[in-house]
Structure 1
Amino acid sequence: MSLSELLLDGVTSENKPYQASLSQMLAAIRRHLKMDVAFISEFSGGKRVFRQVDPQTPDNPVQPGAGDPLEESFCQRVVDGRLPELIPDAWLNPVAAALPPTHALPVGAHLSVPIQMQDGSIYGTFCCFNHGADNTLDQRDLSMMRVFADVAGELIERERRQTRRREEITSRLQAALHDDGLSVVYQPIYDLVQHKVVGFEALSRFIAVPERSPDVWFSEANEIGLGGELEARAVRMGLQGLTDLPADIYVSVNMSPEHILEGTIDQLFQGKSLHRVMLEITEHAVVEHYDELVRKIRPYRERGLKVAVDDAGAGYSSFRHILHLMPDRIKLDMSLTRNIDTDMSRRALAAAFSRFSEETGSAIVAEGVETAAEMHALQSLGVTRIQGFYIGRPLALPAAVQLCSGSADNGMGKLH
C-alpha cells in the first residue's frame, strides 16, 4: 500500500465527512512543516477560491470562500510552470516577488502542488506558506506535499461522485414523491380456517427505467435523507384502499423503526380510524431504543392499530423486534417458508415460531408461499394465514375489490 493510500485510509477510517478530513490534513501538514498558513484552492471562473484553510482564525489573511484573480496568484504560475512548486524565499524569485500576494500577505516560503482529478483536469492547488523565508525546506517536504495533494484529490473526487449520485437519486425520486412514479398493489392474505381473504399487504411499485426493486428505492431514499418522505407517501397511498375494500378486510402497510421514531407515524395516523390497519415493522438493523419505539406506537395500538413484525426468521433483528414489541402478528420470511415441506431445519424453526405465538397470543402469517406442499406443511404446524404467489399475486385495487366480492377468485378456488 502506498503512502497516499495509507493516509487516505487514516483520514476516512472513522467515516468523517470529506470536509473534516481535508481540514485534518491541512492542519497536519501545516504543523509538520511549521508553516503559518495551509489551504486548498479551487480554480473556478478565472478565480482562485479558497475551499479549505488552516488555521481557521479571524486574523488569518486567507479565509474560506474568499478568492482572487487566478492570474495574480502563485497557484496559476505553479500549475503552468512559471514558478517552482518549492520556493524557500519568494523575495529571491523575480516572478514571485512581482506578485501582489507576496507583498499583501506577505509570502516568504511557499509550497504549492496541483490537485489533479482522475480525468486529468486540475482542480486547484494544495498550498502552504510562511510569512518569512525558510531555507530548511527540501525535496522531502515537497514529496510529502504531493502525497497530501493526491489524497485531497481522491477525497474531492469521492465527494463529487457522491454529489452526482445524490443528484441522480433525487431526480429519480421526484416522480415517486410528487408525480405518478409510485403506485401501490395489494397482495391477498388468506385465512385457511375461515377460507377467505382477510387482508391485503400494500406493496410499492415504481415506474422507472432501469427497473429497480422497491427495497433499492427505499434504500436510496434513506441514503439522501428522503426515506421518511417516501415511506409516508407509500403508506398514504396504501391506506387509500380501505375506502373501497370491504369493512371486514384490513390493509397492512410497512414502516421502518427509524421513521416511526422520527414522527412519520404521527403524520399518518393522527385522527385516523385504525381498527383495519396493520403496521408491519420492517428493517433488519438493530433498534437501539425499543422503549421509545414502544412508547411511540402505544397510543395508536390503544386506538385499534395492529402491529406485525416482518421478515421473521431472516435475521437476528427480527427476533429482537418480536421480543420487545410483542406484536399481534409475526410474518414468517419467505426464506423460511420456501421449501419448508422438504427442509427439516425450516420446519423446526417455523414450529418454534408457531409455539411462541401460542404462548404469547400472536398470530403467524407465512409469506412467500408458492406451492400447495408448502401451504400444507405450514398448516400442519398450526400456521393458518398465508401470503404468496400460490394464494395470489399483488393486484391493482379494483382487482383486489373484485376478489373480495367473489367475482374473481384469482385462482383461489384451488384452496377450497
Structure 2
Amino acid sequence: MATALAERRQRVLHLARTHLGMDVAWLSRFTGGEQLIVQADGDLAGIGLEINCGTSYEDSYCARVLTGDLPSVIPRARHDPRTRDLPITARLGIGAYVGVPVSRPDGSAEGMLCCVSRSAQPRLDDRDARFLQLLARLLEESDDSALQAAAADEEQARDRSRTRMLRALAAREVQPVFQAIVRLHDLQVVGVEALSRFDRSLGTDPAQVFSDAGQLGLGPDLELVAIERALEQLADLPEGMRLGLNASPQALMDPRLTARLLDERGDRLCLEVTEHAPVRDYPTLVRTLDGLRAEGVKIAVDDAGAGFASLRHILQLRPDSIKLDLEITRGIAADPVRQALAQSLLGFARSLQAELLAEGVETGEDLQALRSLGVDLVQGYLFGRPGPLAQAVSTKESRR
C-alpha cells in the first residue's frame, strides 16, 4: 500500500511539474515549525533541497501563501516586490513559484504541493493554481482515475501545442520589430535591439511564446528562426549602427546558431545573453562567446540588478555591455535608492570597461537622472515603441 501511495504521489508530482514547465515539484508536510519535503519530482538538489530535509516554515513562501501575504502564483519572483528581497528567494534561486495547500480531512493544511522554477515563467496565472489545486485534491484521495484522465488530457494538449509550434517554425512565423538604442550624451541612435512578435495562434506575449517553446523542447529552434528573421534586415541598418540580438545560453550551445552568426560581419552585432534558464556549463558558454568575440561580436548581459543570476552572468562572461534592469530605471529620478544602485552598477561596469545601458526609459525626468549619473546608453518608450527598422533608426526623443 505504501508503495502504491508513493507511486501515485510521484505521478501527481510529475504531472504538476511538466504541465507547469517547472524545474521541480514537491510535496511537503508541516511539522514542528518546519516544512519537511516528503517527495519530489525534478531537480530538487538544483535548488539546494533534499528529501526528508526540513526547512523553516516561517521563512517559506508556503507560510505566506497560507496567511494570504503571498498569492499562490508568482511568475517573476526576483522582480516581484513581495518576494525579491526575501532571503529564501536568493538562497533557493527561485525564479517562479506556484503552491497550494494539501488538506487534512478537517480542512486544515497538512502540507503544500509546490512547483518551483529557477527562471521566471511569465505565462503562469491563476489557471495554473487551479490545476495544482485539482492535483492537491487527488493527493488527498485514493482514486487514481481522475489523475489518469488529467494526465491523458495534458499529453494530448502538449501534442497539439508541439504540432502548432512546429508548423510556425516551418513557416518562419516570427515578425521582427526593432527598438532604438540611444547614446545619452547627444541622443543619437547608435543601434537597435531586435525583438519578436508572433501570430495569435502562438500567443501575443512574446515571453510566453518563447517559454512555451522551451517546454516543448523547441526553444533553441524558435530563437534561431527569430535571429534569422532579424538578420534579414541587417543590410538595411545604417553603417555604424549595431544590431542587438537576444539568445539564451541554451541556444548559444547550438552550433547552428553560432554558425549563422559567424556568417555576418561581427562588428555589426551585439549578442545579448538572456536569462531563460540556469547555466550549467559556463566554461563551454565562455568558449563559444570568445569565438564570437574574436570575430568582433559584442556581448551584453540583461537585467543587471534584478537578481543573482544576472550578476553571475556578468562575473562569468565579462560582457562589453551591461543592461540596467527596468525595475531600477523606472522612477529613478525620484528615488535615491535606485540612483545609488545604478551608480554602483555604473562603477562596476567601468571596472570591466563595459558600457551601461539603461532600458525602460519612459520619462524625461528619468532620462535626466540617468544623464546626471553618467549612464552611457538608453532605451525605452520615450524614444518609441518597438516597430519597423526604419522607424527605430530615425527615432527622436518623444517628450518634445
Classify the TM-score, shorter chain. 0.5 to 0.7
Counterpart AA for 1:281:
V
Deviations 1:163-186 (A, max 9, x none): 223233224424531336320111
Please say if residues 254 and 279 of structure 1, whose CA atoms lie closer than 8 Å, have aligned partners that are also in contact.
yes
In terms of Rg, which structure is larger?
1
Moved more, 201-210 or 356-365: 201-210
Higher relative contact order (CA closer than 8 Å, sequence separation 6+): 2
Percent identity, aligned pairs only, is 36
CA 1:227/1:10 → structure 2, altered by over 3 Å: closer, same or farther? closer
Matched, 1:200 2:192: yes
Aligned to 1:141: none
SS of structure 2 residue aligned to 1:275: helix
Structure 2 residue aligned with 1:352, among 331, 335, 344?
A: 344
Q: How far 1:264 moved relative to its partner?
A: 4.2
Aligned to 2:161: 169
Q: Distance in 2 between matches of 1:375 and 1:313?
A: 18
Alignment of 1:132-171 (within 5 A): 150-151=143-144, 153-171=145-163
Structure 2 residue aligned with 1:322, among 314, 320, 324?
A: 314
Structure 2 residue aligned with 1:184, among 164, 176, 180?
A: 176
Aligned to 1:8: 8
Deviations 1:223-271 (A, max 9, x none): 0111111000111111222111111111101000112123343242233
Q: Distance in 1 between matches of 2:277 and 2:263?
A: 30
Counterpart AA for 2:234:
L
Aligned to 1:307: 299
Aligned to 1:269: 261
Alignment of 1:15-414 (within 5 A): 150-151=143-144, 153-174=145-166, 176-179=168-171, 181-208=173-200, 211-283=203-275, 285-401=277-393, 403=394, 409-411=395-397, 414=400
SS of structure 1 residue aligned to 2:233: helix
Structure 1 unaligned residues grouped into runs of 5+: 19-146, 404-408
Please say if residues 172 and 225 of structure 2, whose CA atoms lie closer than 8 Å, have aligned partners that are also in contact.
no
Aligned to 1:89: none
CA 1:280/1:203 → structure 2, altered by over 3 Å: closer, same or farther? same
Q: Distance in 2 between matches of 1:391 and 1:175?
A: 35
Q: Distance in 2 between matches of 1:248 and 1:190?
A: 13
Q: Distance in 2 between matches of 1:168 and 1:314?
A: 35
SS of structure 2 residue aligned to 1:390: helix
Aligned length: 278
Deviations 1:307-347 (A, max 9, x none): 00011122210000001100000011111111111122211
Q: Distance in 2 between matches of 1:335 and 1:374?
A: 12
Q: How far 1:9 moved relative to its partner?
A: 2.0
Counterpart AA for 1:8:
R
SS of structure 1 residue aligned to 2:238: coil
CA 1:15/1:192 → structure 2, altered by over 3 Å: closer, same or farther? same
Counterpart AA for 2:313:
H
Q: Distance in 1 between matches of 2:15 and 2:283?
A: 28
